[in-house]
């Protein structure tokens, strides 16, 4: 009896629900609020009957409820046209499970929402690009122990990108972004555009940061490196220079500085390695250092090769005229120190258009730097001692004219040592080759330029002695003794010769 009563309750409720739905369907444009409320309350009754657990619900009726719910849902748009369900919700306060009170109005999407997939794709592309920049920036900063700039440089872009990535790509992140956007009252239809804009902004910031890396390198790390170098803190200087290079590998000046640092630490191979990169990057003076370091390592062939490279412009000035210069000659001559290196493009034109007079002026003004001279002198000396006289002469060919220019350009008292040394070497070769008469001239010239040059006096004494000019030899030996030093290998030997010769001359007198 009770079972029949319950079954009939659900049956009655379903029947009522069905009728109410049919009424809505029949009403069409004449649908009223009352009909809507009838159907919704009928659904309430169905739910109440369903929840009555005191008896089993017949499957037939449950199936009917499902079909009726589907019919109700198809009426959603009509229902929402007639009344705002939100207002009834405020009055009746239905629980969430009573979905029929929460039927959303089906509003047409704005046209731009049709392109949301495109914005999402853009966001993905922008975030991928951002990630690539983060990876690049991080690897540059993560070399060695990162400092404050390094920590900032790694953490800031990484955190930003991860936040943006999480927001765009994960459900939790999306909810977070939606929360932020809702609190900023951004229209829901613009969310994807807004996220894409944020991703673009992030990429923009990263690009800006990436482009400012050379500036950070130059203004911060090179400066720190220089300060550390000046203070003798070479490890710190090296660290900062290396960081500067990571941030701006194009800055060849840093390679030059690193070369200097390794040279200071007597790590010549590393120094040469860095100088070579600097030289390739158009740091011309790096070649001087390379030649000098090879010389220090007693790798004379390599030192010779590099000195040839260094002094090629000067050789062109000696060997060529403005009328027989090749394109290569013009290119090489443009690297001449005395020409302003900043106007490289214009210099090539200037060199190509040189007339004879200008060419001569250039030739007369060109000089050897101290470093270049030292390498040249040392090489000429090494060849002289090895009796490779043609190689010594090869370097004197360049050394003699350009050290003469040095004398012309400088003040009289500014030490004529360079030219005097070259002349002494010339006399030395001639002495070795027993060309005594010839040897006198360059040696006397050397002495006239630098009276304190012991080698010239000592060599001249030997030249006089070989010619049996005893008085001249005696005077020259005395002058040799005036300036010669035991600490110089040749002069040490000559001191012995001088004392021996003077002793025998003293006895003879």
Q: Which range of residues in 60-68, 110-118, 424-432, 487-495 is near another protein by CB under 8 A?
A: 487-495
Taking each helix axis as running N to C, give the angle between helix 286-296 and helix 370-385, from 0 to 180 degrees, rounded to the nearest 10.
30
The residues, any chain, with a CB within 8 Å of residue 396's CB and separated by 6 or more, are: 380, 422, 425, 426
| Beta carbon of residue 393, minimum distance to another protein (angstroms, whole number) | 25
The residue (of 63 and 493) whose beta carbon lies closer to another protein is 493
How far apart (Å, rounded) are the C-alpha atoms in residues 113 and 122? 14
How far apart (Å, rounded) are the C-alpha atoms in residues 362 and 337? 11
Size of the site for another protein (CB under 8 A): 16
| Beta carbon of residue 406, minimum distance to another protein (angstroms, whole number) | 19
The residue (of 18 and 491) whose beta carbon lies closer to another protein is 491
- Asked if 424 contacts 409 with a C-beta cutoff of 8 angstroms, the reply is no
| Beta carbon of residue 398, minimum distance to another protein (angstroms, whole number) | 23
User: Does 319 contact another protein by CB under 8 A?
Assistant: no
The residue (of 385 and 503) whose beta carbon lies closer to another protein is 503
The residue (of 96 and 489) whose beta carbon lies closer to another protein is 489
CA distances from 480 to 275, 420, 444, 466 (A): 40, 15, 13, 16
| Beta carbon of residue 487, minimum distance to another protein (angstroms, whole number) | 4
457-486: which residues touch another protein (CB under 8 A)?
A: 478, 481-486
Q: Name the percent of the chain in helix, strand, coil, to the closest 5.
A: 80, 0, 20
* Sign, Cα dihedral of 479, 483, 487, 488: negative
| Beta carbon of residue 506, minimum distance to another protein (angstroms, whole number) | 6
- Residue spans of alpha helices (H) in 265-369: 268-280, 286-296, 300-319, 327-333, 344-352, 356-365
| Beta carbon of residue 329, minimum distance to another protein (angstroms, whole number) | 37
Residue closest to 457 by CA, chosen among 481, 432, 433: 481
* Sign, Cα dihedral of 184, 187, 188, 189: negative
The residue (of 5 and 507) whose beta carbon lies closer to another protein is 507
Residue closest to 391 by CA, chosen among 402, 380, 399: 380
The residue (of 316 and 481) whose beta carbon lies closer to another protein is 481
The residue (of 220 and 505) whose beta carbon lies closer to another protein is 505
Q: Which range of residues in 55-63, 221-229, 395-403, 494-502 is near another protein by CB under 8 A?
A: 494-502
User: Does 42 contact another protein by CB under 8 A?
Assistant: no
The residue (of 54 and 413) whose beta carbon lies closer to another protein is 413
Token output for 106: 């089906």
First to last CA, the chain: 164
The residue (of 41 and 475) whose beta carbon lies closer to another protein is 475
| Residue given tokens 């009728």 in the structure block | 19
DSSP string of 242-284?
A: HHHHHH-TT-HHHHHHHHHHHHHTT-HHHHHHHHHHHHHTT-T
| Residue given tokens 């720190």 in the structure block | 224
Q: Which range of residues in 312-320, 334-342, 459-467, 499-507 is near another protein by CB under 8 A?
A: 499-507
Token output for 449: 């330029």
User: Does 409 contact another protein by CB under 8 A?
Assistant: no
User: Does 195 contact another protein by CB under 8 A?
Assistant: no
| Beta carbon of residue 401, minimum distance to another protein (angstroms, whole number) | 25
Among 454, 458, 459, 461, indicate the residue that binds another protein (CB under 8 A).
454
| Beta carbon of residue 148, minimum distance to another protein (angstroms, whole number) | 40
User: Does 112 contact another protein by CB under 8 A?
Assistant: no
- Asked if 419 contacts 400 with a C-beta cutoff of 8 angstroms, the reply is yes
Among 452, 462, 467, 490, indicate the residue that binds another protein (CB under 8 A).
452
User: Does 163 contact another protein by CB under 8 A?
Assistant: no
Burial class (CB in 10 A: 0-12, 13-18, 19+), 16: middle
The residue (of 345 and 506) whose beta carbon lies closer to another protein is 506
User: Does 411 contact another protein by CB under 8 A?
Assistant: no
Angle at 283 between CA 280 and CA 284, to 5 degrees: 95
The residue (of 63 and 452) whose beta carbon lies closer to another protein is 452
| Beta carbon of residue 491, minimum distance to another protein (angstroms, whole number) | 8
User: Does 34 contact another protein by CB under 8 A?
Assistant: no
Among 51, 495, 497, 508, indicate the residue that binds another protein (CB under 8 A).
495
The residue (of 335 and 418) whose beta carbon lies closer to another protein is 418
The residues, any chain, with a CB within 8 Å of residue 178's CB and separated by 6 or more, are: 191
User: Does 506 contact another protein by CB under 8 A?
Assistant: yes
Q: Which range of residues in 12-20, 137-145, 311-319, 501-509 is near another protein by CB under 8 A?
A: 501-509
| Beta carbon of residue 477, minimum distance to another protein (angstroms, whole number) | 9
Q: How many helices and strands, by DSSP H and E, does the chain display? A: 26, 0
Interface with another protein (CB under 8 A): 452, 454, 478, 481-488, 495, 499, 502-503, 506
């Amino acid at each position: 009896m009770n079972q029949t009563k319950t079954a009939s309750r659900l049956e009655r409720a379903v029947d009522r629900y069905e009728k109410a739905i049919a009424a809505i369907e029949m009403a069409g444009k004449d649908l009223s609020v009352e009909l809507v409320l009838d159907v919704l309350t009928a659904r309430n009754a169905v739910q109440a009957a369903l929840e009555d657990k005191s008896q089993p619900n017949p499957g037939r009726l449950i199936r009917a409820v499902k079909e009726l719910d589907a019919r109700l849902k198809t009426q959603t748009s009509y229902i929402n046209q007639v009344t705002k369900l939100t207002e009834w919700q405020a009055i009746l306060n239905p629980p969430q499970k009573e979905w029929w009170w929460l039927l959303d109005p089906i509003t047409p999407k704005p046209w731009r929402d049709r392109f949301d997939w495109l914005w999402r794709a853009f966001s993905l592309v922008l975030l991928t690009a951002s990630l690539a920049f983060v990876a690049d920036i991080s690897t540059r900063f993560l070399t060695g122990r990162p400092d404050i700039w390094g920590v900032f440089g790694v953490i800031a872009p990484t955190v930003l990108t991860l936040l943006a990535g999480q927001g765009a790509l994960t459900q939790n992140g999306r909810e977070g972004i939606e929360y932020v956007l809702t609190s900023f009252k951004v229209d829901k239809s613009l969310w994807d555009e807004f996220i894409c804009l944020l991703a673009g902004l992030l990429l923009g910031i990263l690009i800006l940061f990436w482009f400012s890396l050379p500036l950070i390198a130059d203004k911060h790390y090179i400066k720190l490196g220089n300060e550390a170098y000046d203070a003798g803190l070479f490890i710190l200087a090296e660290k900062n220079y290396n960081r500067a290079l990571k941030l701006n590998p194009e800055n060849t000046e840093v390679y030059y500085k690193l070369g200097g640092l390794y040279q200071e630490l007597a790590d010549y191979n590393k120094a040469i390695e860095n100088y070579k990169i600097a030289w390739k990057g158009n740091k011309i003076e790096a070649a001087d250092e390379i030649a000098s370091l090879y010389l220090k390592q007693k790798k004379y062939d390599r030192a010779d090769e590099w000195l040839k490279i260094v002094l090629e412009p000067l050789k062109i000035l000696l060997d060529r005229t403005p009328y027989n210069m090749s394109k290569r000659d013009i290119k090489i001559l443009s690297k001449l120190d005395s020409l302003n290196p900043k106007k490289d493009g214009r210099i090539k034109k200037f060199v190509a258009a040189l007339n004879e007079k200008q060419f001569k002026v250039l030739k007369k003004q060109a000089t050897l730097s101290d470093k270049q001279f030292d390498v040249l002198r040392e090489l000429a000396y090494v060849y002289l001692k090895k009796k490779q006289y043609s190689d010594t002469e090869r370097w004197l060919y360049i050394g003699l004219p350009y050290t003469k220019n040095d004398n012309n350009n400088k003040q009289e008292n500014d030490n004529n040592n360079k030219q005097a040394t070259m002349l002494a070497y010339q006399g030395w070769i001639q002495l070795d080759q027993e060309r005594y008469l010839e040897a006198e001239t360059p040696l006397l010239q050397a002495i006239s330029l630098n009276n304190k040059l012991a080698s010239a006096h000592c060599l001249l004494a030997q030249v006089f002695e070989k010619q049996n000019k005893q008085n001249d030899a005696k005077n020259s030996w005395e002058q040799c003794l005036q300036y010669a030093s035991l600490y110089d290998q040749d002069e040490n030997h000559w001191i012995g010769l001088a004392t021996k010769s003077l002793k025998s001359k003293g006895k003879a007198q």
